[in-house]
Structure 1
Amino acid sequence: MDRFGSDLSAGGSGCKVDASTIMKQVKVQIVAANAQELLQRMTDKCFKKCIGKPGSSLDNSEQKCIVMCMDRYMDAWNTVSQTYNSRLQRERGRM
């Protein structure tokens, strides 16, 4: 039994899975979910901003708008993420 009082099996093979392996898997799933949410939000915002009349194809101005919008969105996201991570590190250093 692990420290949580149960045996966890991987794929029914009878192998014990430790808590650190489960935590790593959960972290990977969280990162994937966050990336998917970022892409969905960016797509929604840039579509609303750039596409006036949806059709079977994008004209040149819509294509340029989408590219610029997504670039700006990613730049903003990266800036916010870096700032947030820096702040977290500073706060952890104070403890």
Structure 2
Amino acid sequence: MSSIFGGSTSTSSETASSKDLNARKEAVMTSVRNELALANAQELINKTNDKCYAKCVTKPSTSLSSSEETCLSRCFDRYMEAFNIVSRTYTARLAKERLDGQL
């Protein structure tokens, strides 16, 4: 097909270029999602450590007592369990909403 400037336009090269652009866009989006997931995980661990430390270590010293270690372990386990429950529920809800939107 000729353009008004005398050259020819190639639909197949435009399609390939568009596919390449979409692939790069998807790669960037995946990278951003991964970075956000990592940042969220780091924030969860930091908050959990701060809250559990404040709750379990009442008299800071050079080492933890066995009761402090047990408390920290249980506290962290509870936070992770709660996080996993919320994450699974949220993921299931998003999946359901996507399916409902497709119908």
TM-score when scaled to structure 1?
0.78
* Runs of 5+ unmatched residues, structure 2: 1-16
Q: Which amino acid aligns with 1:78?
A: N
Partner of 1:20: 26
Q: Which amino acid aligns with 1:59?
A: S
Q: Which of 85, 88, 91 is residue 94 of structure 2 equivalent to?
A: 88
1:75 maps onto 2:87 in alignment: no
Q: Which amino acid aligns with 1:90?
A: K
Q: Within 2, Cα distance between the matches of 1:89 and 1:58?
A: 43
Partner of 1:35: 41
TM-score when scaled to structure 2?
0.72
- How well do the aligned residues superpose, as a CA RMSD in angstroms? 1.6
Identity over aligned pairs, percent = 43
Higher percent of residues as helix: 2
1:51-82 deviation per Cα after TM superposition (whole angstroms, max 9, x unaligned): 10111110000000000000111001101111
User: Structure 1 stretches (4+) deviating beyond 6 angstroms?
Assistant: none
Larger Rg: 2
